[in-house]
Structure 1
């Protein structure tokens, strides 16, 4: 990076709540925020928004007649984007860019309209415009009245951190000084859950399974688990990026890395995650290994996914492995929003100077101070991103 980039605000909605304070309080508990719920005809574990928060967000539909047909993934994005720019002090109509992505996009609406088509061989007038991936950023841009560029994209589970990379590139190019970046995901639908179950990676945690400790349906960062334990969660998380000029900020971005590796299988990465090795090394850019105090793992809760990332970290950091943590055991895997939720977790640790541990993971030496946190994300296709944040 030419110069550090300031994160002047971050906003999210997830099973943790809708504020940094609520998220921090949730992280202080060793209990998860997952719940067993019926999706379609199947009871599954999921990370759902609190009921009152979800009700508040859905009220956006009645606040403007144009919003009544929008997918929940778009409503999540609008809600979090409003809060983020207010915190950052940005004004409606300012010339800032927007890059908000999603792994799945308007999943619920797409399933609804496709069911209509199967039944009647026709569909609603708004089926196409409300299910395009681009409508996430375009509706946020409309709502915030920004005059800057607006972009949507999907790079599966690393989508939000790729949005951050793109925002940084725009700012460093001099084409803009501010960018709103992140991801939004509403994946708790029957077809999406069925896809994950078909891959045999979704948690089927029951108290009758002796290999699973009671109370933790997702065992992300448990390297001794005997079965896959991924759980999906719904969330949106966005951050305000600005060219650093001495302003007050939550954290500074001091390193970025990215890599893609050739795959031998459609959903896998290599056993030692070469893409992560390359992205982490690029983000470090020659900085001392012991300057990284914490790594927020991608750790989806699958046997191979978790282990490959740990193997990559050991290859890069050797005997100087930082404190390792993740949040997917608590909120679930939020696909395209997950990377920015990990950034939020990193910011909280930098602010509070306290490492957030995983209750069932192997005990580690707690860092005495937290100055630099590395955040990882990777998606189907081996698209890894690593972001290095500084206090």
Structure 2
């Protein structure tokens, strides 16, 4: 990187809560936030967070027609920009991504179409992917550039790549980046089950207390669980007193596909993205890696093999948050960044309770990984 980029605020809404205090408290707990709903394991917003979204929905008549993925994004963006002290006059850029977009709303409109052979008026504008960033821009009344994209599960970290590029180009000095996902619909869960990667119901899994065994390399079955949520970060090109952390390295890579959801056994895309993010930094200087590890056998082991290849005998401490809040697809990378930032701020490592992990000797440099269907990996290096 030409120069560091500073994170001046980060905010999220997920099963872990909707305030920094709630999120950190729940990270420090050994409990997970996965439960059964309609016969499926999911990680959904808590009751008070759902109430916050309903309150937001009632504030503007137009918001009643929006999908939860958009509302989660608006809610998190409001809080992030307020904490950063940004105003609409700043004309900051926005890049919010989502793997699936308006899943629930699209399914509802399609079901109605099949019944009536006619689409409802708002079925198109409220289900296009770009409506997340455009509605956030509307809500915040900013005039800067608005970008939306979907790059499956690495979407949020690709938003960081894009935001950093705009900042380093000098076209903007502030950029709001993040991801939002509301995938807890029967069809979406059924799609994951069809891939044979979804966790079984409690009582049928290897460990009913921790149904998602992310980063457990000894599991005998896939244990991915879907979660919902959003996370946003405010990026600035100049160092400010309120900076939470700085981005000091970025890496990305894409593998040649063998099939639609393939990832090489050695995690070749991860090897390239982590090496690029490290740059000239000695691998021994990385203290922690927040892994992508979705809880699948192949996904977890391929990333671990890539880490061993890059770091050899100096493997950093490894952790993940998916055992707590499931896989939030396009939002997952930014939720992992939030976890890393909180560890840097509080100088406390959050471990995974069912695996043995070496405690880091310090917390200065943390690498965050994400990868999506198609083998598109991103690695972001955060420093205190």
Q: Work out whether the TM-score is over 0.5.
A: yes
CA contact (8 A) 1:293 1:373 kept: yes
Counterparts of 1:208 and 1:300, CA distance in 2: 19
Within a 5 Å distance, the mapping from 1:1-391 to structure 2 comes to 1-38=1-38, 43-209=39-205, 212-361=206-355, 363-391=356-384
Counterparts of 1:375 and 1:66, CA distance in 2: 36
Counterparts of 2:19 and 2:337, CA distance in 1: 14
CA contact (8 A) 2:36 2:201 kept: no
Counterparts of 1:246 and 1:138, CA distance in 2: 28
How far is 1:246 from its partner? 4.2
Which secondary structure state, in structure 2, belongs to the residue aligned with residue 259 of structure 1? strand
How far is 1:172 from its partner? 0.1
How far is 1:205 from its partner? 3.5
Which secondary structure state, in structure 2, belongs to the residue aligned with residue 68 of structure 1? helix
How far is 1:208 from its partner? 4.5
CA contact (8 A) 2:34 2:324 kept: yes
Counterparts of 2:301 and 2:10, CA distance in 1: 30
Counterparts of 1:352 and 1:256, CA distance in 2: 23
CA contact (8 A) 2:173 2:238 kept: no
1:173-220 deviation digits (Å, cap 9, x = unpaired): 0000000000000000011011001001010143244xx123011000
Counterparts of 2:381 and 2:71, CA distance in 1: 30
Counterparts of 2:137 and 2:204, CA distance in 1: 49
Q: Which runs of 5+ in 2 are unaligned?
A: none
CA contact (8 A) 1:355 1:366 kept: yes
Counterparts of 2:123 and 2:207, CA distance in 1: 44
How far is 1:123 from its partner? 1.8
CA contact (8 A) 2:8 2:240 kept: no
How far is 1:92 from its partner? 2.8
Counterparts of 2:233 and 2:52, CA distance in 1: 21
Which secondary structure state, in structure 2, belongs to the residue aligned with residue 168 of structure 1? helix
1:367-387 deviation digits (Å, cap 9, x = unpaired): 121000000000001110000
1:47-75 deviation digits (Å, cap 9, x = unpaired): 11011211211222221111110001000
Which secondary structure state, in structure 2, belongs to the residue aligned with residue 182 of structure 1? strand
CA contact (8 A) 2:88 2:143 kept: no
Which secondary structure state, in structure 1, belongs to the residue aligned with residue 90 of structure 2? coil
How far is 1:149 from its partner? 0.0
Report the number of matched residues: 384
Counterparts of 2:71 and 2:89, CA distance in 1: 19
TM-score (norm 1): 0.97
How far is 1:94 from its partner? 2.4
1:86-134 deviation digits (Å, cap 9, x = unpaired): 0000013421000000000000000000001111111210000000000
Classify 1:145/1:263 alpha carbon distance in 2 versus 1 (closer, same or farther; 3 Å): same
* RMSD, aligned CA: 0.9
Classify 1:145/1:208 alpha carbon distance in 2 versus 1 (closer, same or farther; 3 Å): closer
Which secondary structure state, in structure 2, belongs to the residue aligned with residue 377 of structure 1? strand
Q: Decide which moves more: 92-101 or 107-116.
A: 92-101
CA contact (8 A) 2:286 2:367 kept: yes
How far is 1:244 from its partner? 2.4
CA contact (8 A) 1:233 1:331 kept: yes
Q: Which runs of 5+ in 1 are unaligned?
A: none
